[in-house]
Structure 1
């Protein structure tokens, strides 16, 4: 899929069009400032896919940690004391 690039000044002036292009047209739009990419407007489906991948990664990490219960865990009472100190 092609990615459209707009500078931040143009993005401010045509924000409604950008939202329509992304939300209804599926267009991915990168916003630049001084030639550097600083943000992106993407269809909600893209964001949901990214979040699902992150969730999957988190679940896999939790499973890895839980499979070796002796590593990376400290007793609740110890954790509570350390949190209260801060």
Structure 2
């Protein structure tokens, strides 16, 4: 993260903060009561994060599918196991 602004500063500098996130690729932290509360990022950063998350989901699915031994239980069987 390259910079932080308070919520008060964000109100007065919103256009500048958005421009920095959009065009310069900056990640600007927003603090509330001195603690980091949020981060303003550009759309390109968001899309990259979402692509990474999707890739991780696909990898987790493939791993789970490879580990699947084919055994299944019915809902009634599961309830029975949980209640005993």
User: Given the two structures, how large is their TM-score scaled by the length of structure 1?
Assistant: 0.74
Q: Which residue of 2 aligns with 1:33?
A: 32
Q: Distance in 1 between matches of 2:44 and 2:20?
A: 14
> Aligned residues, how many?
77
CA distance in 1, matches of 2:72, 2:16: 52
Q: Deviations over 1:40-86 (max 9, x none)?
A: 01121211111111111110110011112237x746x639xx8xxxx
**Number of the residue aligned with 1:11:** 10
Question: Which residue in 1 is equivalent to 2:75?
Answer: 78
Q: Which runs of 5+ in 1 are unaligned?
A: none
Higher helix share: 2
Tell me by how many angstroms 1:32 deviates. 0.3
Partner in structure 2 of residue 56 of structure 1: 55
Q: Runs ≥4 in structure 1, deviation > 4 angstroms?
A: none
Q: What is the CA RMSD across the aligned residues, in angstroms? A: 2.3
- TM value normalised by structure 2: 0.76
Any stretches of 5+ residues in structure 2 without a counterpart? 80-84
When Rg is computed on C-alpha atoms for both structures, the one with the higher figure is: 2
Which whole-Å CA distance do the structure 2 matches of 1:74 and 1:41 have between them? 45
Per-residue deviation at 1:25?
Answer: 2.0
